[in-house]
Amino acid sequence: MFFESLYGEKTYVLEYNQLTLIPETGIQFFFLFKRRVSMKKWAKKLTTAGLTLAMMTTALAGCGGDQPAGGNGGGDTTEAPATEAASTEEAGGGEETSTEAAAPSGDVKEFTMFIAMPGTEINDDNEIQQIIAEKTGCKVKETWLTGQTDAEAIGTIIAGGDYPDFINGGDAMMQLYDNDVLVPWDDYLDKYPNLKAFYTDEEWDKFRMDDGHIYWMNVFGNTLGESKATTHGDEAFWVQARVLEWDNYPKIETLDQYFDLLERYYAEHPTLEDGTKVIPYTMLCEDWRYFCLENAPEFLDGYPNDGSVIVDKENLKIVDYNTTPTAKKYFQKLNEEYNKGIIDVEFGTQTYDEYIAKLSTGGVLGMCDQNWDFNFTITDVFKQSGLDKQGCNYIPLGLTIEPGMVQRWHSYGDTLNMSSGVAITTSCDDIDAAFQFLDDLCTQEIRDLRFWGVEGVDYEVDADGMFYRTEEQRTKLADPEYKASHVCQYSYMPQYNGTSTDGKNANKPEEQTSEFFDTLAEPVVKCFEAYGVSTYPEMVGSVVEENAPWYPMYSYSNNMTTDTPGGVAWVKMGETKHEWLPKVVMSTDFETTWNEYMDAYNACNPQDFLDEMQVELERRAGK
At 91, the pLDDT band (50, 70, 90 cuts) reads very low
Least confident of 20-24, 140-144, 234-238: 20-24
- Contact 596/576 with Cβ under 8 angstroms? no
Sequence ranges of the domains in the chain: 1-51, 109-228+416-495, 235-409+520-620
At 415, the pLDDT band (50, 70, 90 cuts) reads confident
Would you give the distance in Å from CA 216 to the centre of its chain?
A: 15
Contacts of 347 (CB under 8 A, 6+ apart): 282, 283, 284, 285, 293, 582, 585
| Four-point Cα dihedral 413, 416, 420, 426, nearest 10 | 130
Least confident of 61-65, 251-255, 487-491, 595-599: 61-65
Mean pLDDT of 165-179: 95
Reported as a single tens digit per residue, the pLDDT across 197-244 is 999 999 999 999 999 999 999 999 899 999 888 999 899 999 999 999
| Four-point Cα dihedral 480, 361, 351, 401, nearest 10 | 120
| Residue 376: predicted pLDDT | 86
Q: Where are any strands of DSSP class E within 364-427? A: 364-370, 394-397, 423-424
Contacts of the segment 574-583: beta carbons below 8 A, 24+ positions apart: 576/600, 576/601, 576/603, 576/604, 577/290, 577/294, 577/322, 577/601, 578/285, 578/290, 581/285, 581/290, 581/293, 581/294, 581/331, 582/285, 582/293, 582/347, 582/348
Between 614 and 514, the more confident residue is 614
| Residue 8: predicted pLDDT | 32
According to CATH, what is the number of the domain 235-409+520-620?
Answer: 3.40.190.10
| Residue 221: predicted pLDDT | 86
According to CATH, what is the number of the domain 109-228+416-495?
Answer: 3.40.190.10
Would you give the distance in Å from CA 305 to the centre of its chain?
A: 12
Q: Which of 541, 474, 487 is nearest to 514 (CA)?
A: 474
Least confident of 96-100, 170-174, 183-187, 245-249: 96-100
Model confidence at 190: pLDDT above 80: yes
- Contact 418/173 with Cβ under 8 angstroms? no
Mean pLDDT of 523-550: 95
| Residue 561: predicted pLDDT | 87
Comparing 109-228+416-495 with 235-409+520-620, is the CATH topology the same? yes
| Residue 369: predicted pLDDT | 97
- Contact 557/308 with Cβ under 8 angstroms? yes
